[in-house]
Every structure is written in structure tokens, then in C-alpha cells.
Amino acid sequence: MTSYDGMFDPSHHLSNFRSRMYLTDASDAIHCKAFLTTLTKTTIKWFDNLLPRSITSFDDLAKKFLARFSIQKDKAKHAPSLLGIKQGDQKSLRSYMERFNRACLDIQSIPTEAAIMGLINGL
């Protein structure tokens, strides 16, 4: 599992951790201790600065973790953002299609018509 360095959406890290821990029959205390092993030196500083006995459960730890690192939460992207993707004069069609497809993956429930309009607009 990739360690959390504070530079990407904390909810993704927490979801990944929870899905892995779901496979075990570990206690809440073990979840808290195991979670610490998924943090990097930078984010461990946050953990170390928590007040003693301020965590009562893993859910409590998760809420505090999300609250602290929520600034890194992924921003929702919408279909109009595709209009900013252009092929460019010296870029290949393949390169443009790869960038366009990656951008489409970031948009939830993109209407087919919007994707087609964005694709044509960028050529």
C-alpha cells in the first residue's frame, strides 16, 4: 500500500486502508496502530501531535485524519473542463487522445454528447 504523504486525497488513502483491513479480523486498536504504518514522516508529525487519549476509535482517528488533510481532497471535475484540452500544433493525435481519455476518467457520469463535443473542440 502506498504511504500517505499529505499530497493527495486523504479519502482515497483511507478507503484503500479500510478495504485492506476489512480482510482481517483485527480490533479497533489494531486498526489505529496499523494506520500509523501507512503514513510518511511528514504525516506522522500530525499523528504525533494528537493529544494523548484524544482518539477513542478508528472512526474517530479517520475523522481527524480527513479533517486535517481535507485541503488535498480531489475537486469534482465536470464536462466543461474538457474544453480546455487541445491537441496543439506539434502534438500527435495519439498524445491528444491519451490526455483527453485521462481527463474523461476524472469526470463522474459524463454525458456522451459532452465528451464528443469536447473531443471535437480540442482538435
Backbone angles phi, psi at 34, to 5 degrees: -70, -35
Over range 35-59, report the average pLDDT.
93
End-to-end, the C-alpha distance of the chain in Å comes to 39
The yes-or-no verdict on residue 67 having pLDDT over 80 is yes
13-39: per-residue pLDDT in tens?
A: 999 999 999 888 889 999 999 999 999
Q: Quote the CA–CA distance of 37 and 113 in Å, as a whole number.
A: 45
List the domain boundaries for the chain: 10-72, 79-122
73-121: per-residue pLDDT in tens?
A: 656 677 788 888 898 888 899 998 998 888 888 887 888 888 888 888 8
The yes-or-no verdict on residue 59 having pLDDT over 70 is yes
Read off the pTM. Answer: 0.61
